[in-house]
Chains A and B, each alone.
Chain A
């Protein structure tokens, strides 16, 4: 029963190597290839866009491919997920969404199972009485406690569900429905976050933000319906997307000031609150956010200014920041040093990292679509939204 392979390897192998593009119908492969190509070319860069497209693609996989049991479905999803990750390895959002969808599939399966067969509920206690195939830690160990692991469950269900195609059909439609709900949730993420704005922003406060973030824009504008306050935007050279943010924020109740990035520390003493957007929230509560964010957070810490980070739950990544470089994106340094400057281009190395890693110690509150949390609480949210670590182990395959 216990094989020599490690859990990660077996998790990898379980996305069985026999899968290939031909395992999918054209309804899946065409949008999949399309999406992969666009990811590679960097044509889709917006976080929510990537998230939504990934989720939609996952729904297509569920709807349009042949699977006889949940395990096979999860493997299909993992296969597609791996393809997407390979296309844009630094895009953590894809991993988030794929893991979330797999989680949804597992949840849905178990609930269908429980409804279908209430008698079984007691017969499958979360104990080691019935040895479960595919367990990875010794069955007595701690990891066993939350015994709802994809494989176990999948395998348990396979035997029962296989015979009942009616159930599979029902399961399929309910999974699709769940994913659709999730996509709707994604769509409304910004609005949900903005609903919490009044808890965080008070009248006449001076708020500092950085770069372009739609979430923060909506957050501030929602607050501006009821309250009047000042917003300072750093311009975020060399992309200067702070300018755009300032334009987007300008409204009667918000007085917007744009400052150069270098003035952050100087102005921080006057700031009441720092509100930031982010690309991804790592599993330890750290941020991968636009470069310059770390500096702002550090300045805020120095002045004991509260740092509020607005990020939808889909941005919560189950991975830990083990390597700064792997999660960063270095874009063309052209904006830093124009390519035509022949004397310099050959002589110096120029780098333009797109993101900063902000350690969790510098973040005070994470606001997501369900409310505000401490960074240290993030692990709980992750446990609710994703399956155990082994289920996203496949994402670190290129290590």
Chain B
């Protein structure tokens, strides 16, 4: 009746009754403890439950029936679907069937279940419940069906997204190389390795090379967790009952097997720019796009059908990237302000700031760049919110900084707190002056603070972690499943060997809560970590699951997480992790031998990177100040800004500032150059000092610099030192007492702590200082100059 409808009608005719299978359970615990109270797919992504994106994607692809397979919190999911628009008959032509797979332990089990009961007889789409995509998959399904006529063994098409090595969407713990026959897009092999240790080689079956004239090896592809499957896929899963996961077991198994002659095809999602309309590639999606162009020939202004975005939220790192993609509108029309998903209405503001209704921003607040503010959220004066998502009724107190963080509904942040690259659950209260370092995950209803620093990658929940292995996945209150659950699977949070800090604590308490479905424990809260008013318990770091469990994740690797490597790989999958962390960690490990406690080591590892960033930033700032000849005040202000925004340490700052300034002394032009630099810039160092002890430290820093810095040639070391120290005094950067104090201390120290040679060099000066102090003599300037001129 309506002209525009022809579009959707033709789509439906194309494949009669397209079906989809959605794995609403993830069979891993990468989101714990956030998913304690609800299934992971109901966690909000840009303030919309993730399952909505998936259902919307399927529905807009013309899927008529969706089977949701869930295990943990099945009732919550059921209730959700019932009250959502999907439950409304008039809304959608897509039927949703929920299937509870109580015994499933893995993707494989779930698919076998489906095979047993539903009897899917036609091709279907398989994806997880956490897929975000703006594609119209019906075209791909059509291409899949068409290809089946050419290749009878074609059982599956894998959807892959192009993303270069450093792309944020990539799973940093995984290196995958895909072997593709470019003429047919047939997938010839997948080589996946954990990214640690760095893989040195990979094997390619010779027959692949022999039988295909051309083979593409691509390392720039990311699995989207979307598959188009023929019914045979289910049968194959049933036949091979040891298949657990899709990629590692199934695809790998099929491709490597000589017996199974099935073939799998890959479809690579490329951006529009790779295929200009002039030369459409012979490929389902491009054909689809052309068809679109034709269909929309009437268009006054034709939107490009960006058929290009698909990604799965597989871990918290992906959660972070996909949130950013949604905010940055990469998945248009899926974006906060024009989301096809029911939810609050957001308005777009410059710089990708999305505001829902009744958002209150303090007059002096700073909300900029890639921020989503949920309904009734509140940002107080002087608070900074950047690159973050605030849920409904969230509030951020005065002078707090929220950067790269995801606050679920009703979370509140007190005054002067800093939250960085963290996911914070519903109704969490963060009190004043709390610093939450990156990578933390805070479960619902926790209270933290005041005045505490939560080290990075800490997981905190309102409930005690379960030490029993009888729980699986996000399934703490799925008590009916306990017994059936495989004890080998994703048990909750056995403290790992590496988390010695909390180990005793957790094991001893863990037993108390076995079988209590993670009910709220009466144990005292971990206030030593959470602060005096803290409510909640620390889970193991990195949120490790059962460390001894090789099958723990739907990951596709065989390595386990028991060793250090595994822990790091796991950390790589967490929000806020950098690959650099691990590389640095590797180096550190080489440097320091293992006399230190392992958890301390980790502490080191985690702190190094932000520290380095801070240091680099600070050095740049000072260099800029020199270059542009800033005033002392401006420079000092900028330095302290850098320190605040990177949470840098005072001592580090002092050290770096002093080093940078000393580094600007032209060693060839001593002593005048030293005098010039210190008279101009000494004030900056002075501003980093607040008490006598720190003055002494500055002297120490200068000594270290003169003695050790590689930029200083050996013959100049003592000269530089001898001339710098009096200048420090002359320009009032340190007081005489500090120099004397340092000297007295240095003389008594062993020679590997200070350079004896250097200490001696200022003996004369110190003596003079001692004298002048007694005499209270004022005309010391001349003396100083004379001293330096002596050389």
Direct contact of A and B (CB under 8 A): yes
Residues of A within 8 A of B (CB): 21, 26, 29-31, 33-35, 37-38, 40-49, 52-53, 56-57, 86, 88-90, 211-215, 238-241, 243-244, 277, 279, 290, 325-326, 329-335, 338-343, 345-346, 349-352, 354, 398
Q: Which of A329, A331, A335, A398 contacts B345 (CB 8 A)?
A: A398
Question: CB distance B7 to A43 under 8 Å?
Answer: yes
Of A52, A333, A335, A351, which one neighbours B3 at CB under 8 angstroms?
A: A52
Q: Is the CB of A340 within 8 A of B167?
A: yes
Complex contacts, B134 vs chain A, CB 8 Å: 332
Are A40 and B340 in contact, with the CB atoms below 8 A? yes
Q: 3 shortest A-B CB distances, which residue pairs?
A: A342-B167, A338-B271, A340-B162
Q: Contact string, B216-236, partner A, CB cutoff 8 A, digits 1/0?
A: 000010000000000000000
Q: Are A335 and B271 in contact (CB under 8 A)?
A: yes
Is B300's CB under 8 angstroms from A240's CB? no
Q: Is the CB of A335 within 8 A of B300?
A: no
Contact of A41 among B170, B220, B340 (CB under 8 A): B340
Contact at A38–B4, with CB atoms within 8 Å? yes
Give every chain A residue within 8 A of B347 (Cβ-Cβ): 89, 326, 398
With A49-B4, A342-B168 as contacts: A349 and B328 at CB distance below 8 Å = yes
Interface string of B7-41 (1 = CB under 8 A from A): 11000000000000000000000000000000000
A-binding segment of B43-51, B205-213, B304-312: B304-312
- A331 touching B332, Cβ below 8 Å: yes
**In the assembled complex, which residues on chain B have CB atoms less than 8 Å from the CB atom of A53?**
2-4
In the complex, which of the residues B91, B164, B330 contacts A333, with contact meaning CB atoms closer than 8 Å?
Answer: B330
Q: Which A residues are CB-close (under 8 A) to B340?
A: 37, 40-41
Shortest Cβ distance from residue B320 to the other chain A in the assembled complex, whole angstroms: 11
Instruction: Tell me, in angstroms, the Cα distance from A103 to B165 when the chains sit together.
Output: 58
**Given A56-B1, A86-B345; A335-B304 close (CB under 8 Å):** yes
Within 8 Å CB of A277, what residues of B? 300-301
A170 to B349, CA, bound (A): 48
How far is the CB of A9 from the nearest CB of chain B, in Å?
15
Over the window 143-179 of chain B, the binary record of Cβ atoms lying under 8 Å from chain A Cβ atoms (1 yes, 0 no) is 0000000000000000001111111111000000000
Could you jot down 22 A-B contacts, CB within 8 Å? A38-B8, A40-B333, A41-B56, A43-B8, A46-B296, A46-B301, A46-B302, A49-B298, A53-B3, A53-B4, A89-B338, A214-B298, A238-B273, A241-B301, A326-B348, A331-B303, A332-B304, A339-B161, A339-B163, A339-B308, A342-B167, A343-B166
Q: Closest residue to B90 on the A side, CB-wise?
A: A29
B196: Cβ under 8 A from any A Cβ: no
Q: Nearest residue in B to A340 (C-beta to C-beta)?
A: B162
Residues in chain B near residue A215, CB distance under 8 A: 300
Q: Which residue of B lies closest to A90 (CB)?
A: B338
A340–B304 CB distance below 8 A: no
Whether A21 contacts B90 by the Cβ 8 Å rule is yes
Chain A's closest residue to B296 (CB) is A46
Asked whether, in the complex, the Cβ of A340 is within 8 Å of the Cβ of B220, the reply is: yes
A45's partner among B167, B168, B302 (CB-CB below 8 A) is: B302
Provide the main secondary structure of the chain B interface: loop
Least CB distance from A281 to B in Å reads 13
A214 close to B300 (CB less than 8 A)? yes
Q: Which residues of B contact A26 (CB under 8 A)?
A: 90
**A-facing residues in B273-293 (Cβ within 8 Å):** 273-274, 276-277, 293
Other 14 A-B pairs with CB < 8 A, given A334-B306, A335-B271, A398-B357: A38-B8, A41-B56, A41-B340, A49-B298, A212-B300, A240-B277, A277-B301, A331-B332, A332-B329, A333-B329, A340-B163, A342-B167, A345-B168, A349-B328
Contact yes or no, A37 B300, CB < 8 A:
no
B335 contacts across to A, CB distance below 8 A = 330
- B332: chain A residues within 8 A (beta carbon): 42, 330-332
**Given A334-B330, A349-B370, does the pair A46, B300 have CB atoms closer than 8 Å?**
yes
Q: Once bound together, how far apart are the Cα atoms of A162 and B331, in whole Å?
A: 51
Q: What separation, in Å, do the CA atoms of A277 and B5 have in the docked complex?
A: 25
Residues of B within 8 A of A213 (CB): 300-301
Contacts of B168 in A (CB 8 A): 342, 345-346
Which residue in chain B gives the minimum CB-CB distance to A32? B90
Complex CA gap A301/B60 in Å reads: 44
Could you tell me the distance between the alpha carbons of A340 and B352 in the complex, rounded to whole angstroms? Answer: 20
Residues in chain B near residue A49, CB distance under 8 A: 3-4, 298-299
Given A41-B60, A398-B345: A325 in contact with B350 (beta carbons within 8 A) = yes
Nearest Cβ distance between residue B472 and chain A, in whole angstroms? 34
B351 contacts chain A at the CB level, 8 A cutoff: yes
B301 contacts across to A, CB distance below 8 A? 45-47, 211-213, 241, 277, 279, 290, 354
Shortest beta-carbon distance from B266 to chain A in Å = 15
Distance of A30 Cα from B332 Cα, bound (Å) = 26
Whether the pair B4, A42 counts as a contact (CB closer than 8 A) is no
Nearest CB of B to A238, in Å: 7
Cα distance A33–B2 when bound, in Å?
Answer: 13
Task: Tell me if A48 and B300 are in contact (CB < 8 A).
Answer: yes
Residue of A nearest to B339 (CB): A40
Measured between beta carbons, the chain A residues less than 8 angstroms from B167 are 340-342, 345-346
Cα–Cα distance between A352 and B134 once the two chains are bound (Å): 17
Known: A339-B163, A339-B330. A45 touches B338 (CB 8 A): no
Nearest CB of A to B54, in Å:
14
Contact A342–B163 (Cβ < 8 Å)? yes
B744 on the A face (CB < 8 A) = no
In the complex the two chains form, what is the Cα distance from A331 to B331 in whole Å? Answer: 9
- Are A241 and B90 touching (Cβ within 8 A)? no
Shortest C-beta distance, A349 to chain B (Å), equals 7
Asked if B92 is an interface residue, CB under 8 A from chain A, the answer is yes
**B369 contacts the other chain (CB 8 A):** yes
When distances are taken between beta carbons in the complex, the residues of chain B under 8 Å from A239 are 302, 304
Q: A98: shortest Cβ distance to chain B, in Å?
A: 16
Which residue of B has the minimal Cβ distance to A338? B271
Q: Which residues of B contact A88 (CB under 8 A)?
A: 338
| Closest CB in chain B relative to A237 CB, distance in Å | 10
Q: Is the CB of A350 within 8 A of B299?
A: no
Which residues of A sit under 8 angstroms from B677, Cβ to Cβ? none
CB-CB < 8 A to A243: which residues of B? 277
How far is B338's CA from A29's CA once the two chains are assembled, in angstroms? 21
Q: A26-B90, A49-B3 are in contact. Are A41 and B333 (CB under 8 A)?
A: yes
